[in-house]
Every structure is written in structure tokens, then in C-alpha cells.
Copies of this chain bind each other. A is one copy, B any other.
Amino acid sequence: MTTMSNRYQPDTTKNRPTMRHVAALAGVGIKTVSRVMNDEPGVSEETRQRVLGASQQLNYQLDMAAGSLRRAGRRTLSIGLLLPSVSNPFSGEIHRALEDSLAARGIAVFAASLDDDPEREKALVAAFLGRRVDGLVLTPIAKSQSYVIPEHSRDLPMVFIDREPVGIEADAVVTDNAVGSAMAASHLIAQGHSKLAYLGDRTDIQTARERRRGFIEEVGRAGIATSSVPVLEGLHDEDSARRAALQLLTSEDPPTAIFSSQNLVTFGVMRALKELGASKRVALVGFDDFTLADMMEPGVTVIAQHPDRIGKLAAERLLARIDGDHGAAQTYVVPSELITRGSGELPPPE
């Protein structure tokens, strides 16, 4: 008997209360509870207080998922964010800026790491779509993003960051990679260097190609034979960059200035220079700023990106699309910035 009564009594401790529970306790209909929870008009102050009291007593919390199922527009107030890796500081700053802009609208962010894996990109997009996100912000890595065309044409807001998408016309927010790299070249040339070298990331990465292009083109514009400039690519981690730099610097006719296209490559070059005791002899400009760059000996001159601005702009575009902006897709370019700290201002040996 006891067992039976237990079985049929609602277990207030374990079961999450629903609107029905609140309505019963407050002695009103569930629609009235709904109105109160959503701050809709048309509820007398007295009823409102009674409902609020009951909901607090039961520790009730609205179920957004159930709500958005029925609600017009079907907003879930969540978006998906795909980054190279959430542990990458550059990505982290973009993420933070995005979050700040979206939090003001009560939008939560699903974040996930891609690890340069095209398959993961597709799987994660699918996972987000299954959760009915209101929008997507992603760093494309797959060869083509045409797989999201069906969603895009269903008006799912979508903004690509860092790299432009291929095979689909959609908004993108990117750094001015080529211009920044050209700045690096012209800066080094202005210091009197003519023996430059380029150390870069894997060429299947769009931004790496852009940086090389910008650098080399500027070298050419300055009247230096581009064929004389060593271009070492495919460097994706610190150690491969270190070894490449060591080889380059101990070669017959070593460069007097180096441009490294990415953080890890810059670190590798710094290591090589330190090992050779050449830190104050060979000029270095790196793409991407990093913590403590100014504390190195000498300070490291960089082309800084502005992840905060990228994140903020991406959020703005996404929100505009969510709010119904149907204008043509556009690419927004965030300028990079030369920050001089010493390593890039070392003159060539006379």
C-alpha cells in the first residue's frame, strides 16, 4: 500500500516541476503561468504575484526547448561556434568577443574544436543543426563549404571567420593577411634588408597562402628578385619551424631578415636564433601577436591581428542576419597592425 501511494505521488524532490505544477499550486491555468513567465501583458498584478510565488516555491524554471518548439520563429537563443581549437589563444579571444556581444541578447554559445579536420567540420555542423541553433560562426577548414548550402538557403544565419568559405556565398570576417604581410616586407626593406626569407605554414591553409602572396608581391614591388627569397613552407609546428630556420641560417648565404607567417613558426624561429646566438643579428617579424612578445630579448616585432574586432564584427553580422537582414553576402576585412618592438628594426650587417 505504501509502495503504491509512493508510486502515484509526484516526487517533488526528483522531478523537475512544469508549468502544470506551478499552475496547480497557484490555482490558475497554465496559460496564465506562461504569460507571467514570459512577461506578457494581460495578467492582473495579484495573479502575477501568486504565480511568481508558486514558481519560486517550486523552484520552477522555464523549459526553453519546449517553448521554442511551439513559439513563432522557433528561436533557441543558442548559436554554434567552430574554432580551430578552443585552447588556441587567438580563437579564445574571438570566442570571448563573440560571447560578449551575444550575451547581451541572451544567446548562448556552443563551442567546438575542429583540429583542421574536414570531417569534423561537417560532423560538428550537423551536431549543431540537430540542436537547432539560431546561427553558425565557423572557421572553414574543409575544401568546400557547399555542404551547408541547403541550410544557408533555408536562411540559417552563418558567418565565416578567419578564412573565406569556398563554394558558397556567405558573410565572412577576415584579417587583411596579404596587406599585413606586405607591411612586414616593406618594414624590413625599409630597415635596409635585401636578403629576406619567408617561413610559412601548410599551403592548404588559405591564410598561409595569402600571407605568402602579400609578402612576396611586396618584395617584388621593392625591386628585389623574388626568386632570390627562400620560401620554406609546410611548417605547422614549432619544431619543424625551428629546424627549417636552423638550416636556413647556417646555409651558405643566409638571409638577414626573416618573416614568419604564424605564431608557432615565429616561436620556432626564435628558438633557432637563440641557439645560434643570432637573436640580435637577424631581423624577425612575425605574423600574429603573442603574450610576452615585448619581454623577449629583443622584443619581437609583429603584425598583430585583432581577434577581438573579428569576434565583435562576426557577432554583429550574425545578429543582423538573425534579425532578418537579407542583403547580399559580404566579406569584412579587419586590418592588421605593425607593432615594432626591436626584432624587426635590427639593421642588416653593413
Contact = CB atoms under 8 A, between A and B. Distances in A.
Interface string A65-82: 110110000001010000
Interface in A123-156: 126-132, 150, 153-155
Chain A to chain B: the 6 pairs with minimum beta-carbon distance, closest first: A87-B96, A87-B92, A65-B65, A59-B150, A111-B111, A86-B95
A62 B130 contact: yes
Interface stretch (A26-34, A43-51, A251-259, A287-295): A287-295
A106 B152 CA distance: 24
Contacts of A204: none
Nearest to A96: B87
Identical subunits present = 2
A61 B110 CA distance: 18
Interface of A: 13-16, 59, 61-66, 68-69, 76, 78, 85-89, 91-93, 95-96, 99-100, 103, 106, 108-113, 126-132, 150, 153-155, 267, 270-271, 274, 290-292, 295-297
A150 B58 CA distance: 9
A83 to B, nearest CB: 10
Nearest to A103: B112
Contacts of A89: 87, 89, 92
A85 B96 contact: yes
A61 B126 contact: yes
Contacts of A15: 154
Given A66-B69, A87-B89, A108-B112, A78 B131 contact: yes
A111 B109 contact: yes
A130 B61 contact: yes
A243 to B, nearest CB: 17
Contact of A99 (B65, B113, B153, B267): B113
A292 B112 CA distance: 26
Contact of A14 (B78, B154, B270): B154
Contact of A88 (B66, B92, B113, B155): B92
Contact of A106 (B78, B92, B127): B127
A154 B13 contact: yes
Which residue, A64, A76, A295, has most C-beta atoms of chain B within 10 A?
A295
A108 B106 contact: no
Contact of A292 (B108, B130, B150, B267): B267
Contacts of A271: 295
A63 B130 contact: yes
A310 to B, nearest CB: 13
B99 A86 contact: yes
A75 to B, nearest CB: 12
A15 B156 CA distance: 11
Contacts of A113: 96, 99-100
A274 B93 CA distance: 28
B65 A69 contact: yes
Nearest to A291: B291
Contacts of A130: 61-64
A305 B89 CA distance: 18
Contacts of A110: 78, 108-111
Contacts of A111: 86, 95, 99, 109-111
